[in-house]
Chains A and B, each alone.
Chain A
Amino acid sequence: DVKVTQSSRYLVKRTGEKVFLECVQDMDHENMFWYRQDPGLGLRLIYFSYDVKMKEKGDIPEGYSVSREKKERFSLILESASTNQTSMYLCASSLLSGKYEQYFGPGTRLTVT
């Protein structure tokens, strides 16, 4: 079974802090994704990566950056957390893209106060 793990289930940070969210997958998948999930808005893509050290912006990249130094690990960085970044963050991976399903982690619920 594919397993996608995220470093924290719940996180509380203060405005202005730098926040790191980590995601690890164990199935040698090429693609990894970061989404945020908000009620009524569904999943919105922040960034994705199709190879080590490669990244592409999604629909809402402002205020975020990512790092993929190893194939299995994809990190999301909030450079200076703001209250409007309070959300559920989901990591996903897929073998390739297109017709391949994504496998999701359990999510990190981030609260910025």
Chain B
Amino acid sequence: AQSVSQHNHHVILSEAASLELGCNYSYGGTVNLFWYVQYPGQHLQLLLKYFSGDPLVKGIKGFEAEFIKSKFSFNLRKPSVQWSDTAEYFCAVTPPVDTSGTYKYIFGTGTRLKVLA
């Protein structure tokens, strides 16, 4: 089945460590890609998005992601994490429009990141 995969379910890092969270999707054609973050007790908010152009996308709070079309991947990175980055991170994809003519947003299962002070 077509899907969005986040293979890291739980990640624990110390402050200042580098972060890379994986996201892979299985849709062909043109896709739009998103990373959202959910801080404890808060609503989901957009970190960054990609739909065309430079495959290296910079987002808020020092996060970036790289779209590698040949690998169907959109991994999230941050060079040096902080305690305040503790949150759950979701990758999302809008696949090519389906036969009904509408787009759906397909989410991965999320990665819980804990940063130790």
**Residues of chain A having any CB pair with chain B under 8 Å:** 4, 33, 35, 40-45, 48, 50, 56, 58, 90, 92, 97-99, 101-102, 104-107
Contact = CB atoms under 8 A, between A and B. Distances in A.
A interface: dominant SS = strand
Contacts of A4: 43
A104 B44 contact: yes
A1 to B, nearest CB: 11
A43 B90 contact: yes
A42 B108 contact: yes
A12 B92 CA distance: 30
Contacts, number: 58
Given A40-B9, A56-B100, A106-B43, A99 B108 contact: no
B49 A99 contact: yes
A40 B6 CA distance: 11
B interface: dominant SS = loop
Contacts of B44: 90, 92, 102, 104
20 contacts: A35-B107, A41-B109, A42-B90, A42-B108, A43-B90, A50-B102, A56-B100, A92-B44, A97-B105, A98-B32, A98-B51, A98-B94, A98-B97, A98-B103, A99-B32, A99-B49, A99-B94, A102-B44, A102-B92, A104-B36
B34 interface: yes
Given A42-B110, A98-B97, A98-B103, A104 B32 contact: no
